Amino acid sequence: MLPDMSNVLRGWEQSVKIKTVTRSTTDFVETDVVVVREQVCVVQVAEKSRLNSKTINWALDYIAVHSREDISLGEYVEFDSADYKVIVSGNWNQYGYIEIIAEATGKNLIT
């Protein structure tokens, strides 16, 4: 049995907004529907040296997020007045948490 390491996160967790954007089309008009939820996570700067150097944009910022609750690919994490799109999801569920890497969008906040 693997140890539940999620308790280690508790000391550094903070509340962040997780945004799910769904695009729908009605009468040939596309509309984005944004659902926002609050979630406690540990957020830190992602080390670019650990990322795939062929696929990242070196001009953008990246964050690593650890959470006891799920965050899916394509969702957005609002952190430090900026949105970051989830591009990598690491499954550490056997240890009680997940880890994602998110890339700065460089755009206005999604509302």
DSSP string, the chain: -----GGGGGGT-EEEEEEEEEEEEETTEEEEEEEEEEEEEEEEE--GGGS-TTTS-TTS-EEEEEESS---TT-EEEETTEEEEEEEEEEEGGGTEEEEEEEE--SPPP-
Domain boundary assignment for the chain: 6-104
pLDDT, tens only, 54-105: 888 889 999 999 999 999 999 999 999 999 999 999 878 888 899 999 999 9
Query: What is the per-residue pLDDT for 101?
Result: 95
Q: What is the mean pLDDT of the chain?
A: 91
The pLDDT assigned to 51 comes to 81
CATH of 6-104 among 3.40.50.11440, 2.70.98.60, 1.10.3720.10, 2.40.10.270: 2.40.10.270
